[in-house]
Amino acid sequence: MRLNEISPAPGSKKARKRVGRGTGSGHGKTSGRGNKGAGARSGASPQAAYEGGQMPLQRRLPRLKGEARGRHTVARPTVYAAVNLSELEGVPGDTIGPDELRAAGLVRKKAELVKILGDGEVGRAVTVRAHAFSRSAKEKIEAGGGSVELLER
């Protein structure tokens, strides 16, 4: 076997389509683009949002409330750091607030809002201070002899 005898496997290499090289090539005249329409024009390929003249979906839907971002507006949901009741067992003290939760490593950011969720049980009477509580968390804390303080956002 010599270098000049080496060739790729049959069918592995395919010649590229050479359009616009006369009618005899099979890809002449309109070069495979058909006759008229957006697909036949240069640079005017149909956009993803274009629906053939029908009002596009993103213009049919109503805009969301919130801070304006360019042409459209975006809804901004309130994001909470979720802490379960089962995680409160490892936090020392009778009063547990966002600062104590940060010190215990349960909440990361300083400005983050805290929501207490009802998964687990509280084994002692504690005063829990947070920005939001689930209904079950509130009931379990109060059933265990503790109290709930709602903080302002």
**Are the beta carbons of 124 and 142 closer than 8 angstroms?**
no
Q: What is the arithmetic mean of pLDDT over 108-131? A: 90
pTM to 2 decimals? 0.53
Q: How confident is the prediction for the chain on average, in pLDDT?
A: 87
Q: What is the arithmetic mean of pLDDT over 11-36? A: 92
Q: Which residue has the higher pLDDT, 74 or 127?
A: 127
Predicted confidence at residue 77, as pLDDT, reads 79
Architecture of the domain spanning 80-150? Ribosomal Protein L15; Chain: K; domain 2 (3.100)
Report the distance separating Cα 112 and Cα 95, nearest Å: 19
- Per cent of the chain over pLDDT 90 is 56
Domain boundaries, the chain: 80-150
Burial environment of residue 133 by CB neighbours within 10 A (0 to 12, 13 to 18, 19 or more): buried
